[in-house]
Amino acid sequence: FLLSLSLAFRVSHESRLSAMAKAVPRTVLITGCSSGIGLCMAVQLARDPGRRFHVIATMRDLRKKDKLEAAAGDTLNQTLTIQRLDVCSDESVAECINSLPEKQLDVLVNNAGVGLIGPLETISIDAMKHIFETNFFGAIRMIKAVLPAMKQRQKGHIVVISSVMGLQGIPFNDVYAASKFAIEGFCESLAVQLLKFNIFISLVEPGPINTEFEMKLMEEVAKSQFPGVDATTVHCFKEVYLPASHEIFTTMGQSPESVAKVGAVVNVIAKERPPFRTQTNPLYTPLVALKYADTSGELSVSAYYNLLFRFTRLFYICTSFLKCITCRCFRRQITPT
């Protein structure tokens, strides 16, 4: 009887310890939280019903924190705290990581990034370096800072917000796509060795995202004159690419909220064994698949060229079809009987 009682007590005690361990929230640090996906991710995780996460939402300029504070509401300074972090600065990264209790971090989300579009001839080398400094070296700087502690603990999760443009290049996005291709190759290489330490890497690849920033950027670029660029290239950019890009954003674009929650970012973070690669927009998958259907690359290159420059009307017919099948009013509503 005493033996049975002792075993029952031990099982009960271990169960309580296990429940307590599960109840301890995981610390999640997210870069680039002043707006967009970063802001939405931070708020979604902080509002988790199970309070499974403590979110450290970071941004380069704390003067832009008002929008995040308003969205965070009563989670602010409870399950969400805001800190300054510039991913392009070794000192800023070290200061932020050193401020963590015992320098312990469960999940790193590399979200900070910048975009760049336009004819290649108009983009300076310094502008290109700036893109890589944030999108590529900024992510690597963060990963290097957290890896030693994660390896020591034999546990960790690194999430990188990449892009479908890290899989398939898009005209007039040459430098931005190159920065995303670079981070994809880096993560594919690193993911293999980190499994030895029980550390997972997850690439999250959104397609077009509808934000005020994106729309404003396109409007400003459309007004540019591009001196020194040949007339054909300017025509292709302004009269073909920009209208087509606007159509794609209208048809296939996701909201930051959709990418953060429905688009699986939060789900990826919550999984015990997270996937390596997740595309958030299923409408974009067939376009990416073209690249892998033909190892010569001719299929995807020619398909994009023909749709954009030769059979433009077919392109708009395809996007109109996508509008129809994805429209809520088109879907059949099913109600319980």
- Collect all residues with Cβ–Cβ distance below 8 Å to 283 and sequence separation of at least 6: 207, 251, 252, 322, 326
Specify the residue for token string 């209790």.
Answer: 101
What residues are designated binding site for NADP(+)?
32-60, 86, 180
How far apart are the C-alpha atoms of 203 and 92, rounded to whole Å? 24
Q: What is the widest separation between alpha-carbon atoms in the chain? A: 92
Residue from 97, 201, 199 nearest 156 by CA:
199
Query: Which residues belong to the annotated binding site for substrate?
Result: 163
d(CA 294, CA 103): 46
Q: Which residues have C-beta within 8 Å of that of residue 156, sequence separation ≥ 6?
A: 105, 106, 107, 108, 146, 147, 149, 150, 197, 198, 199, 200
In terms of Cα–Cα distance, which of 272, 268, 263 is closest to 160?
268
| Half-sphere exposure at residue 261, Cβ-oriented, CA atoms within 13 angstroms | 12
Distance CA 126, CA 117 (A): 15
C-alpha angle 165-84-37 in degrees, rounded to nearest 5: 35
Q: Which residues are annotated as a binding site?
A: 32-60, 86, 163, 180
Alpha helices, DSSP H only, in 29-65? 36-46
Strand extents, DSSP E, 49-181: 53-59, 80-84, 107-110, 156-161
Known active-site residue 241? no
In the numeric block, which tokens belong to residue 15? 């169960």
Identified catalytic residue from 176, 241, 284, 304: 176
Single out the residue of 288, 89, 131, 134 nearest to residue 205, CA to CA: 288
Give the residue numbers annotated as catalytic, written as ranges: 176
